[in-house]
């Protein structure tokens, strides 16, 4: 039973346009969410986070939206750049569990076309 799902394995976007990466979760106890970017042969790099007390968080070109009722979050990248081409993972955690564990999605490969 996959608690965090990224249903789109890949996405292609033109340079300068918006990239939207989606993530769904099933566990209503999840209250903290992260997005990571991963280049080949490197470890994942933290991008942006959001807690359940917010519905939006921005950091430069990256914005994460959280819809708690739909158990859905999305990462928007505007404008998309060729250097954004990577695999993106979402991750979720339940702070009340006290374990500080994250469950990761399977990732979405983003390709930004020049």
Partner 1 sequence: DAGITQSPRHKVTETGTPVTLRCHQTENHRYMYWYRQDPGHGLRLIHYSYGVKDTDKGEVSDGYSVSRSKTEDFLLTLESATSSQTSVYFCAISERKGQFPYEQYFGPGTRLTVT
> x/- contact string, 47-86, with partner 1 (CB under 8 A)?
--x-x-----------------------------------
Among 45, 55, 81, 113, binds partner 1 (CB under 8 A): 45
Q: How far is CA 80 from the centre of its chain?
A: 15
Of the ranges 14-22, 38-46, 57-65, 71-79, which one interacts with partner 1 (CB under 8 A)?
38-46
Burial class of residue 12 (count of CB atoms within 10 Å of its CB; 0-12, 13-18, 19+): exposed
Contact between 1 and partner 1 by CB under 8 A: the answer reads no
Angle 58-64-67 (CA atoms, 0-180°, nearest 5)?
130
Question: CB-wise, 34 or 112, nearer to partner 1?
Answer: 34
Question: CB-wise, 28 or 51, nearer to partner 1?
Answer: 51
- Closest separation between CB of residue 104 and partner 1, Å? 4
Q: How far is CA 91 from the centre of its chain?
A: 7
């Amino acid at each position: 039973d996959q608690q965090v799902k990224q249903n789109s394995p890949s996405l292609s976007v033109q340079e300068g346009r918006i990239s939207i990466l989606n993530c769904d979760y099933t566990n209503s106890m999840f209250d903290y969410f992260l997005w990571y970017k991963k280049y080949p042969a490197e470890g994942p790099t933290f991008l942006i986070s959001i807690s359940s007390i917010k519905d939006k968080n921005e950091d430069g070109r990256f914005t994460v939206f959280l819809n708690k009722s739909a158990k859905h979050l999305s990462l928007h990248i505007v404008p998309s750049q060729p250097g954004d081409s990577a695999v993106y993972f979402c991750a979720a955690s339940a702070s009340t569990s006290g374990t500080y564990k994250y469950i990761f999605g399977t990732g979405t490969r983003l390709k930004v076309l020049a």
